[in-house]
Amino acid sequence: MPALPLDEAGKYVAGAYVVFVALILIYVAIMAAKLQRIERELRDLAGIAERRGETDD
């Protein structure tokens, strides 16, 4: 098959790179959501630990 003209090939090349970037972004977004949950839980636990410290005093 002969090489596609640049204007047509460009769409496919852009598509491939966009798919790759989107895949990585989706992964990072999912990981960011998990890290936010960890941070939220950590804040709750820090609050519990502080309240315990206050009652011990």
Three-state DSSP class for residue 47: helix
Using rule CB under 8 A, residue 35 touches another protein? yes
Q: What stretches of the chain adopt beta strand conformation (E)?
A: none
Other CB atoms within a 10 A radius of the CB of residue 12 amount to: 10
Interface residue with another protein, options 48, 54, 55, 57 (CB under 8 A): 48
Using rule CB under 8 A, residue 29 touches another protein? no
Q: Tell me how far, at minimum, the Cβ of 54 lies from another protein, in Å.
A: 14
Using rule CB under 8 A, residue 10 touches another protein? yes
Interface residue with another protein, options 25, 41, 55, 57 (CB under 8 A): 41
Alpha-carbon span 49 to 54, nearest angstrom: 9
